[in-house]
Chain A
């Protein structure tokens, strides 16, 4: 594969938050490159830093250290007009469609403000035409029924579509969809995901989908990549078929073994992988060495809890994984301890 210029790149990004006097790291050494028109899914359980990563990509949070590159250049270097353009190039779609739209504006106003502010349209006629087009693009038809409504008059799915349309007003290159469908009714999810796929073709968008649902990630990013996060680190990243079909990291394996199957009889007989502990360690006391070692069934005492794993290739897998035994050329062996 030829090395393509990446749209957004995170290099050695660290981010920590303070709570009172205690400082705890939320992201540690995140390296991630998103190529144009790529679909990337960030998966992991709650508290693993998915949303923080998304917010850093969208420019809402600054990394504590490390750099964020836009088309190969550090984002801090841009000035003036270009800076504003770059910042608009990545947009965020929030998880909760009930709080992401201002209750005191109509849908027409919500879409009109950014269009007017950034002179995306030259006059009133074009403004209305553009709003109409955007609403059609996100399958809110007929637009005439929607424009003069307030957000509370729409359903959750419709609001989420408005929220996506709003992100599209400024012609972004990348959309970060932060759990964009997790609060939407299951029957509507597929529709919204399909629409996002179509929009990706229309607008040449890259999409970063943040989700805790592996099945959804598999469906959405089949042609793209999946990055699995655990306690502020990416533990496995690669093309979706590789990660789903042949998971390398024990954590990914555990997640996959917990996904229910459509057939209840299979689900019932399916044995989820046994972890040594079900508790997620607190971010204030991240375990030494590989952060997963207290829960890992393949834990090798004296090895996993000492050295820190880095993302790398293994013999058996196509994707990159951060697991000490695999990286050093060994295999995962279950120990009884």
Chain B
């Protein structure tokens, strides 16, 4: 399985703790224990959640942040106010690496401030984190109930197992007497991961094709634009239905590929327009006269000014993929495998939960979960601009 479907494991916790020793050590070495301890906690948690995949990047980030605290008081010749003759520009490689780390850490901190500053965006971020933590750490607390529980009938005569929320079962029981809470906890991961995969692939293809079309122009532009127009003119969801029923899906990843294949054109046109506008800027012209090369112009001049734009569109792509996915599942067009929020809605519909007040939670719980997750995504996009645009970031 490609992706990062993951459940917190003891091995991960060990990895996380080992990773956390690095920022902790740096914090102790430079006398910033508080920052070091926070770095340790961050590493431990992300290692616990995702193993190496979470632990290793977090080492870099946490260490950089600790360095950025530690480096403030150090005299950098580059920020001194002395005159040219008095300044000593010599530095060892180690000092250079630390300085780069500290600069990276400062950027991360500025991004963090950008994240917190927009209230709506921060609430969205917390919402996303809530669902992520629930999906990853929830299984440690809640046990999955897969098989029917006939013993939970209220009385031997009762025909159904539906139950409204109670103290014992916070979200009630479904038609087989299983705890809906356990399905909510376990059922989000596949859906979220598959939509993120689909969004990621659609974004990658869109950015690649969009910038190629805009920068190369001419024939390439015409072909790519015509191709995207062709896909755009086909009604998306009906096509998806047809394709989903023809193809058999061996994995969710293939489903993500299909979703991405149909959703990249909108984003590609947006990226193309953005690149077309950015490449006419004066600073690109200056880079041309300075002969900095095409690679530099794309990667250093054009791309950094598109990051927030791409990130926002990435979120929108995830959103669209999730709706499409849930739609396919509800219509029964993809192989059903529990637990999954979409399948919960399908079950609710096919078991007549829509007509039975006692079975309300069967439909209500997954719908609210999906809607809340989507809302969190939309709110989060508000922060993205402030995170990635240095103009909006406040200096430290």
Which A residues are within 8 Å of any B CB, using their own CB? 58-60, 84, 87-88, 90-92, 94, 96, 99-105, 108, 113-114, 117-118, 124-126, 128-129, 132-133, 136, 142, 144-145, 147-148, 150, 152-153, 163, 166-167, 169-170
Contact = CB atoms under 8 A, between A and B. Distances in A.
A88 B293 CA distance: 12
A102 B304 contact: yes
B390 interface: yes
The 4 closest A-B pairs by CB, nearest first: A104-B304, A100-B282, A102-B283, A142-B81
A144 B282 contact: no
B385 to A, nearest CB: 13
B159 interface: no
A43 to B, nearest CB: 22
B78 A148 contact: yes
A153 B89 CA distance: 25
Given A96-B282, A132-B84, A153-B395, A104 B390 contact: yes
Contacts of A92: 285-286, 289
Contacts of B289: 58-60, 87-88, 90-92, 167
A163 B305 CA distance: 19
A144 B78 contact: yes
A35 to B, nearest CB: 21
A152 B391 contact: yes
A118 B291 contact: yes
From A84, A87, A90, A113, residue with most partner B Cβ within 10 Å: A113
A104 B278 CA distance: 13
A153 B395 CA distance: 9
A150 B393 CA distance: 11
Nearest to B304: A104
Contact of A166 (B83, B286, B395): B286
A150 B290 contact: no
A170 B290 contact: yes
**Number of chain B interface residues as a range:** 20 to 34
B296 A113 contact: yes
A90 B286 CA distance: 11
Given A87-B289, A102-B305, A132-B84, 5 more contacts: A102-B283, A117-B291, A125-B91, A128-B77, A129-B84
Contact of A147 (B79, B286, B290): B79
15 contacts: A87-B291, A88-B291, A92-B285, A100-B282, A101-B283, A102-B283, A104-B304, A104-B305, A113-B287, A124-B96, A129-B89, A132-B87, A144-B80, A167-B290, A169-B290
A90 B395 CA distance: 35
Contacts of A142: 80-83
B90 interface: yes
Contact of A100 (B80, B283, B292, B305): B283
A184 to B, nearest CB: 15
Interface string B63-83: 000000000000001111111
B91 A91 contact: no
Contacts of A118: 291
A100 B288 CA distance: 12
Given A87-B289, A87-B291, A117 B296 contact: yes
Nearest to B303: A104
Nearest to A117: B292
Contacts of B90: 125
B34 interface: no
A88 B290 contact: yes
B221 interface: no
Given A96-B282, A104-B390, A132-B89, A166 B290 contact: yes
Contacts of A125: 89-91
Contacts of A166: 286, 290
From B87, B282, B285, B390, residue with most partner A Cβ within 10 Å: B282
A266 B246 CA distance: 88
From B288, B290, B395, residue with most partner A Cβ within 10 Å: B290
Nearest to A133: B84
Interface in B85-111: 87, 89-91, 96
Contacts of A94: 282, 285-286
A102 B301 contact: yes
Contacts of B286: 92, 94, 100, 163, 166-167
Nearest to A145: B81
B389 to A, nearest CB: 8
